[in-house]
Structure 1
Amino acid sequence: MDMCFGWDLGGVNLKLARVEDGQIEAVLQSPCPALAEPRRFDLAVEDAMRIVGDAEATHAITMTGELSDVFASRYEGVAYLVALMRKTVGAAARFYGLNGFVDAHQAIAEWETVASANWHASAAFAATVEDCGLLVDVGTTTTDLIPFKDGRPCALGRNDGDRLTEGELLYRGVVRTPVMAIAGQAPFKGRMQGLAAERFATMADVYRLTGELPGDADPFPSADGRGKSLGDSATRLARMLGRDTEDVDFVAWKALAHFLARRLLDQIEADAREVIEREDLPPKAPIVGAGCGRFLAVAIADRLERPYHDFADLTPCADDVHGMVARCAPAAAVARLA
């Protein structure tokens, strides 16, 4: 049996996909908040290996975890994660870089092509199925806007800094992003008022109130460490306005959430339009949606009057993992590419 495991080592989530004979059979996502110490990565990998077992397989690995605050530099992060996976799965480890797969030694030598290359893997796989299109991967923390055509990604940025410059990366997602990063003002009682520049609430609170956030998309502590009911989320949003939920009817807090959700959607749409125009993608080139926030990719496709294709529909996968394949696109992509 031909088997491959695809790993996406993130600083927020570890994602793992298992491919058997060309079909994705299993997908795992595990929170990996490695802000305190590198050992958090080790524990997440150890937990995942309980599922891997002793199966003989190729291990295709990509990462974003080198950006974690626990490392003094991106190079240090890449070196740590490469060593961890080399120790864990041995010579079966293959690391995805912008120029293809490399072994552990090459991954260290060419670390800048390996660091945060998971977006490239997802677009590279999409380009093996679709003639051209725009990958819109909306996650907990970031949004990738990656054009592809002629069988390959055609992004101008090669790293996160350059992609931020080119509008191919927005450091905004549907869970962890502080509300203060989305808007400086919001309507309240018929007037615009300023929002607090404080992490009182996150976009997870916004999308809970709009009803769009998948139930298992937010495994992280809330901004105030309290619950995640609609009332709790409204309370945190009220703090952003320096107010209490009792100041107005509950419907007003839902209206505020919808306003903030539209602001983020507007920001993604603006960058998507620029990338599409720059690359002259034809009108029928689809939006390929991925990530736990791909409901925004669906909305972008509707606004741009383009077809929408779900990432999970690009590859054979078991019915019970269809949603997770789209949510864990980089892990699925490296497994299929390998």
Structure 2
Amino acid sequence: MDKPLTATPTSPSPGTRSPFVLGVDVGGANLKSVLINQQTEKATAWESFFPMWKRPESLAEQLLSDWAALLAEARADADLIAGIAVTMTGELADCFTDRQHGVTHIADQVQSAAKQFNAAADLGFYSTAGEFIGKDQTSDQVDALAASNWHALASWAGRHVAANGILIDVGSTTTDLIPIQNGQVATGAKTDHQRLRDGSLVYVGCRRTPVCSLVDRLMIDGVDVPVMNEFFATIDDARLILKQQPESTEDNETEDHDTADGRPRDRQSAHRRLAKMVGWDANELSSVQADSVSQQIIESAQKQIDASLQRQIAQFGGNSQEEITLLLSGHGQDLVTQSTTARSAIDLRDRLTPEVSRSAPAFAVARLWLDTHREVRCNAV
């Protein structure tokens, strides 16, 4: 069981002149930032695609660009930001030799961006020990800082949404299944390795998961066909075919080439990528067949997530599914089976705007920073 959040402020506590708090989630493929106005409680989110493994040296530059866009969206000024709260998962990127290298690099880049953005703002990095630490401590607490965004989200959810339940957060790469008891994260597993072993981390997401990691065979016209063990297509292609998410094209100003072959995220390209998985050209895979194989891929992902969820439910204390509240988060919630969501469930998208819910860990870490500093002020009175 985790202890309550603690922090030692490194700058004056936020006052009326500094009403904003910036939450930042530094991932390996995406950067997410959320600005919260303490006075109005309004949250504004900004997300950008940033392949950490390709240009880690540009992280500070990209963060500054994102934060400038976020300020413009929120009509706020940088000098009114009291704190910058940071969580990360990007330390796993291939460009880093190990977690120490990744955490240190990310912390250095974030600090560089923060100094240029607002040098007076309090900068804190969230750790799975349930506390914020300063930049000078990051190299000594690598394991607690690495892959900490799941803990921040679950901690916020336990405090502000449901004191008991299981958080299911389905992102682009992974799914987190986090037990919450008495308002706190209720798992002793903190590192990725520990979480893989206990089933609270499932390497299945709604975007980047390779098809060949989900299925080894596909049924096509009654024939069981082996798939190629090549990175030809991802689950994203199956979801595009089934229209479970919109295409990214020049027409809707969200052109995106983060795909297996570097070509666009449209249904025509997705059809071609899926055909290659079974050794076909696009014209050899009919639309009906594409729909069928896509559904098989999605069902396999759902089964993997559901199997780990059942394991977490069994470890929760022997309660039946009907007695456990499920907190649903992330933009891949369609991978959580309907039989599960039909039970007691809270969709965090109902508590947050759709844009903010896509950046839920960034929102959560900002809110935890606020909680921490409010507690510090109360204790000082």
Q: TM-score, normalised by structure 1?
A: 0.91
Structure whose alpha-carbon radius of gyration is higher: 2
Q: Paired residue for 2:102, among 77, 87, 90? A: 77
Q: Distance in 1 between matches of 2:45 and 2:127?
A: 22
Matched, 1:34 2:52: yes
Distance 1:270 1:65 in 2: 27
Distance 1:179 1:57 in 2: 44
Task: Evaluate the alpha carbon distance shift between residue 186 and residue 23 of structure 1 in structure 2; reply closer, same or farther with a 3 A threshold.
Answer: same
| In structure 1, C-alpha distance between the alignment counterparts of 2:356 and 2:304, rounded to whole Å | 26
Shift of 1:235: 1.4
Q: 1:54 to 1:109 in 2, by over 3 A?
A: same
Q: Helix, strand or coil for the counterpart of 2:44?
A: strand
CA deviation after TM superposition for structure 1 residue 265, in Å: 0.3
Contact 1:146/1:154 (CA < 8 Å) preserved in 2? yes
Q: Are residues 1:187 and 2:257 paired?
A: no
Report how far residue 112 of structure 1 moved: 1.1
Match in the other structure for 2:35: 18
One-letter amino acid of the structure 2 residue matched with residue 45 of structure 1:
L
Name which of structure 1's ranges 190-199 and 20-29 shifts more when overlaid on structure 2.
20-29
Would the aligned equivalents of 1:180 and 1:196 in 2 still touch at CA under 8 Å? yes
2:35 and 2:270 mapped to 1: Cα distance?
Answer: 36
Q: Deviations over 1:38-59 (max 9, x none)?
A: 2231222121231343333211
Contact residue 238 and residue 295 of structure 2 kept, 8 A: yes
Q: Hey, what does 1:289 align to over in structure 2? A: 328
Paired residues for 1:83-98 under 5 Å = 83-89=108-114, 90=119, 92-98=122-128
**Among 135, 149, 157, the residue aligned to 2:167:** 135
Counterpart Cα distance in 2 of 1:39 and 1:177: 26
RMSD across aligned positions (CA): 2.0
User: Identity, % of aligned pairs?
Assistant: 30
Q: Give the Å deviation of 1:76.
A: 1.2
Q: Using the TM superposition, name which of 257-266 and 170-179 deviates more.
A: 170-179
- Cα pair distance change 1:96/1:214, threshold 3 Å: farther
- Within the candidate set 290, 296, 319, 1:253 is matched to 290
Instruction: Tell me which residue corresponds to 2:84.
Output: 59
What one-letter code is carried by the residue in structure 1 that aligns with 2:134?
Answer: D
Where in structure 2 are the equivalents of 1:1-338 lying within 5 Å? Answer: 1=16, 2-21=19-38, 23-50=41-68, 51-52=70-71, 53-89=78-114, 90=119, 92-99=122-129, 100-128=131-159, 129-215=161-247, 219-280=256-317, 281=319, 283-297=322-336, 299=337, 302-303=339-340, 305-314=342-351, 317=352, 322-338=353-369
Write the distance in 1 (CA, Å) between the matches of 2:325 and 2:189: 21
Structure 2: state its 5+ residue gaps. Answer: 1-15, 72-77, 249-253, 370-381
Contact 1:125/1:337 (<8 A) preserved: yes
